[in-house]
Amino acid sequence: MPGNAQLLLLDKDVVESLLIANDVLAAVERAFELHRLRKGRVFPLIRERLETGGVFGIKAGDVQSESLLGFKAAGFWPSNRNQGGEPHQATIMLIDPATGRPLCVIDGNAITTMRTGAAGGLGLRALARPDSRRLCLFGTGVQARIQVTFALHMMPAISSVQYVTARGTADARFESHFNDRCAISHATDADDAVATSDLIITATPGGGPLFGAAAVQPGTHINCVGADTKGKRELPEGFLERVRLFVDDEAQARQIGETQWAPDVACVELGDVLGAPEKMIRHPDDITVFDMTGLALQDLTVARMLYEQAAKSNLGARIPWPW
């Protein structure tokens, strides 16, 4: 009855306890499939800069055939670092599409991290050369770490990782996460690291081009993570015009992704490749780019998985939420 309605709250600890890599991969792949079949809708994006120095956005969507509806309110507040806090903040809400009543409120930080890592891993598996061994990474933050984690999970041939930092200094703490899984080293010359790598992942705040276009060798694949707002970029000017470009959502990528800098370049949505992998013929000299802006459907499919698991295991806090 409406008077007995409850709202389930899943905090950071519960979310992290339920986030298993293969489960997240399955949920994210399902999101790509729903998007490909146009069974899941991605609503117009909200992404705005604030006077406080932060960036606030809302990604929303639904899957009408599966009674799935919700949104993620998220953004980036760099001043949080001064308070010892995480600059990325995200909250997800699942809503009953039949009544409009909230079903579950979920801490979205770990979900965002994991689903983005999973999307990157799926992109590598679908687009990169299977024998790729050398990875070049830009960034050492939370997202950089999860991207490497999923890259190693999905691409077992990777044996070495070079990483480039904004300060130009090594990050021993970052290296410690991967020392037992691959040879990892700090690179002081970005173009040299790019030129000697099969895979490149850019996971930075998107403040400008990270390397020269000429450094990228034929056969290289690049996952771009950092461009998620108008004005952000990580790739050099004119580079997208000479690659095979893949995106998670074409309209969104042209609005806020790397693709905003090359709006007339043809692109293919990754869901189409995942749905028909036999059609992805990669020529030896192809340079491929996956422009990752993050789908609302990814947040919703992962959130639904957590909601169902938490309800089954009686996890989280339930509070009265009467009509």
pLDDT tens digits, one per residue of 165-201 = 999 999 999 999 999 999 999 999 999 999 999 999 9
Positions of E strands within 97-209: 102-107, 134-138, 160-164, 183-186, 199-202
In tens, the pLDDT along 142-159 reads 999 999 999 999 999 999
N-to-C CA span, the chain: 9
Nearest to 252 by CA among 206, 302, 294: 294
In this predicted structure, the answer to whether residue 2 has a pLDDT above a threshold of 90 is no
Read off the pLDDT of each residue in 87-94 and give the average, rounded to a whole number.
Answer: 96
Contact between 34 and 40 under an 8 Å Cβ cutoff? The reply is yes
Q: How confident is the model at residue 1 (pLDDT cuts 50, 70, 90)?
A: low
In this predicted structure, the answer to whether residue 306 has a pLDDT above a threshold of 80 is yes
Read off the pLDDT of each residue in 104-125 and give the average, rounded to a whole number.
Answer: 97
**Domains present along the chain, CATH in parentheses:** 2-111+297-320 (3.30.1780.10), 127-294 (3.40.50.720)
Q: What is the pLDDT of residue 188?
A: 95
Q: What is the pLDDT of residue 91?
A: 98
**Which residue type is seen at 204?**
T
Q: How confident is the model at residue 105 (pLDDT cuts 50, 70, 90)?
A: very high
| Residue carrying the six token digits 């992942």 | 201
Positions of E strands within 25-143: 40-42, 46-49, 55-63, 68-76, 88-95, 102-107, 134-138
Backbone φ and ψ for 163, nearest 5 degrees, come out as -125, 145
Q: How confident is the model at residue 4 (pLDDT cuts 50, 70, 90)?
A: confident
Count of beta carbons in the 10 Å neighbourhood of residue 190: 19
Q: What distance in Å separates the CA atoms of residue 154 and residue 251, rounded to the nearest whole number?
A: 27
Vertex 131: Cα angle to 125 and 134 (nearest 5) = 95
**CB within 8 A of 315, min separation 6: which ones?**
10, 14, 17, 18, 309
- 143-173 in b/e form (b: 16+ CB < 10 A) is bbbbbbbbbbbbbeebeebbbbbeeeeebee
In this predicted structure, the answer to whether residue 3 has a pLDDT above a threshold of 80 is no
Nearest to 256 by CA among 245, 247, 265: 247
In this predicted structure, the answer to whether residue 279 has a pLDDT above a threshold of 90 is no
In this predicted structure, the answer to whether residue 107 has a pLDDT above a threshold of 80 is yes
In tens, the pLDDT along 27-55 reads 999 999 999 999 999 999 999 999 999 99
Question: What does the mean pLDDT of the chain come to?
Answer: 96
